[in-house]
Amino acid sequence: MSDALHQAEELEGEIALPVDAADSGLRLDRFLTGHLPLFTRSQVQRAIRLDLVTVDGVVACKTGLAVRAGQEVVLVPPPALPSRATPQDIPLDVLFEDDEIAVIHKPAGMVVHPAAGHPDGTLVNALLGRYPEMQRLDSLRPGVVHRLDRGTSGALVVARTSRARESLSDQFLARSVFKGYVAVVAGAPREDSGCIDRPIGRHRSDRKRFTAVDPLPPVRPSVTLWNVAARSAAPFSLVAIRILTGRTHQIRVHLSSIGHPVAGDALYGNGRLPPPLATGAEPPTGLRPLLHAALLSFVHPTSGKRLFFHAPLPGDLRSCIAHLFPEFAPDRIAGMDFFPAAGDAAGGTR
């Protein structure tokens, strides 16, 4: 075994472990028990069944999943969370639902699943209230296969069955899910488009942050494509974004690394909001990065058809865009051609 145990980090109740070349190809449960001797194999397998283990940010659904060098495995010890999420009657904006999946328009300010400091009021609590049968999933995060930051709004798919959860998890790990975002950023990029191909890791002095500039090892390959959708006389621009990897805070970290942090992002920028939000009504949840998951596309777990979902702009972004970019037509965001193509990854910002 490698010395990954010595590289493990405990952050907000989570244990993060890098996968190095010596461990590549190991079963996920064997990898974890090999590097976490305080956990038995049955405890690790239970944590995987409870959706408490992620691989590169994607919920791991299989104990026998083969890990690969360069990935990051994160485990949340079961005692760090309540034994089971509680159903709550919280309204949801549902873009699509059938017996297998649901696609939700998550509002800014909503946490995806219960965690330290957020025992309830989360998307998972709302899902259990709307879909009581999801309680049959032996999980502390039922339905969750990917996440959006608390301050990010937009489209998020959840699994209503174990079959759907496994299919969606496989698609996210294979990077076949299309994820298109729109953001208002600080400043005016000199180029009209670009590819940010910079590994991301933990910040050396602030352990709550990630960085693409001299990060602590281990680092994770990360690729973000962007193009300028509209410019303004004010020091803000509208950008369309597509991510080819799914690291924590990836878009916010990458845009900050090229000098154009997301407007309203106090963690990776100065938190400044553009007008009219800075002088009029604040966003519904107060200060938040003006980042929105606008388009999501994946293959349906049972029909095999590729589905496309557009999450309309929330009120704060809509009013901001109308004020800063009056000639921009928001309907453009609903189309695939609004976002960068995967071929734009050639070259890029290093």
Of 212, 174, 176, nearest in space to 68 by CA: 174
pLDDT at 279: 55
Note whether 197 and 338 are same-domain residues.
Answer: yes
Note whether 111 and 225 are same-domain residues.
Answer: no
Confidence of residue 138 (pLDDT cuts 50, 70, 90): low
Note whether 221 and 321 are same-domain residues.
Answer: yes
Residue with more model confidence, 125 or 275: 125
Which stretches within 155-304 are classed as H helix?
162-173, 250-257
pLDDT digits (tens, 9 = 90+) for 157-168: 999 999 999 999
Point out the least confidently predicted range of 3-7, 195-199, 251-255, 288-292.
3-7
Note whether 247 and 341 are same-domain residues.
Answer: yes
Task: Give the contacts of 326 (CB within 8 A, at least 6 positions apart).
Answer: none
Note whether 182 and 318 are same-domain residues.
Answer: yes
Note whether 116 and 200 are same-domain residues.
Answer: no
Note whether 198 and 341 are same-domain residues.
Answer: yes
* Domain assignment of residue 208, given as a range: 178-345
Confidence of residue 6 (pLDDT cuts 50, 70, 90): very low
For range 67-78, the mean pLDDT: 87
Q: Give a yes or no: residue 157 inside a domain.
A: no
pLDDT at 346: 57
**Which residues are marked as active site?**
149
Note whether 228 and 293 are same-domain residues.
Answer: yes
pLDDT digits (tens, 9 = 90+) for 103-112: 999 999 999 9
79: phi > 0 → left, psi -120 to 50 → alpha, else beta; which?
alpha
The yes-or-no verdict on residue 3 having pLDDT over 50 is: no
Q: Give me the torsion for CA of 138, 142, 145, 148, rounded to 10°.
A: -150
Give the 3-state secondary structure of residue 63: coil
For residues 157 and 198, give the distance between their C-alpha atoms in angstroms, rounded to a whole number. Answer: 27
For residues 136 and 122, give the distance between their C-alpha atoms in angstroms, rounded to a whole number. Answer: 18
Note whether 229 and 99 are same-domain residues.
Answer: no
For range 194-221, the mean pLDDT: 90
Domain CATH number, residue 204: 3.30.2350.10
Domain count, the chain: 3
The yes-or-no verdict on residue 11 having pLDDT over 50 is: no
The yes-or-no verdict on residue 9 having pLDDT over 70 is: no
pTM of this structure: 0.83
Q: Give a yes or no: residue 28 inside a domain.
A: yes
Residue with more model confidence, 188 or 136: 188
Note whether 40 and 104 are same-domain residues.
Answer: no
What residues form DSSP beta bridges with 103? Answer: 96, 157
